[in-house]
Amino acid sequence: MYSALSFDELNQMDMNTRSIPYEKYFGEMELPKEEKETRIKLAENMEDEFLYVMSLMFTLQKYPTPNWETARQEFFDRYKKSLNGYVTPNENFLAYMTALSYEVIDATKRNIDDPYYFSQDRAKFISENESNVSRSFQYDLEAIAQGKTKKQWVAIMDKKTRPTHRSADGEIIGITEPFIVGGSLLMYPRDVSLGASSSEIVGCRCSVKYLSLIHI
């Protein structure tokens, strides 16, 4: 527990950084410049909202019987708020957000003595991942609406890239078909609608290039 520390003091502690600066994280992805800028702005919005949740959880853990449901609902509400103007979530995506809110709280409770789980770095890490998840969902809907017919998996080929994602790099399929990546089905990188394993989603920096039939 960190009852003797303030939230600001906790964030000044020496911790291993997991997040990546947004300009670098999104800058390396094979996306149009406008889409990269959109994901950066969304991540910044999310960080403001999720940092509040980190602070709330930090305060709650000081009490003998924390009301974790308050923090879970706050996470969901602030996630939804951050999407305004960037993503229009459907029923399936709202269900994903609900499941994620429980995962965030459960992970915090399991790691109650680890300062990272209340930190700004964690807020940034979640923000970069969820900006990617939510905009990938919206980007796919927009491509379908624009009449795109094919899609191509594009991996960042560096030392962090999963072997399964290296194997998927360059694959072109119909826009309504799922990619098969490491045994998981994904409509696009970080897609959760078909029950993909978290090992194929978390931290993924792959992208999709949408194509018209004439380009194939």
Q: 0.75 cut: is pTM over it?
A: yes
Query: What digits encode the pLDDT tens for the residues 92-143?
Result: 999 999 999 999 999 999 999 999 999 999 999 999 999 999 999 999 999 9
DSSP summary character for residue 89: -
Query: What digits encode the pLDDT tens for the residues 70-94?
Result: 999 999 999 999 999 999 999 999 9
| Beta bridge pairs of residue 184 | 181
DSSP 40-52: HHHHHHHHHHHHH
The pLDDT of residue 1 is above 90: no
Domain boundaries along the sequence of the chain: 7-143, 147-215
% helix, strand, coil for the chain, step of 5: 55, 10, 40
Cα 206 from Cα 162, distance rounded (Å): 10
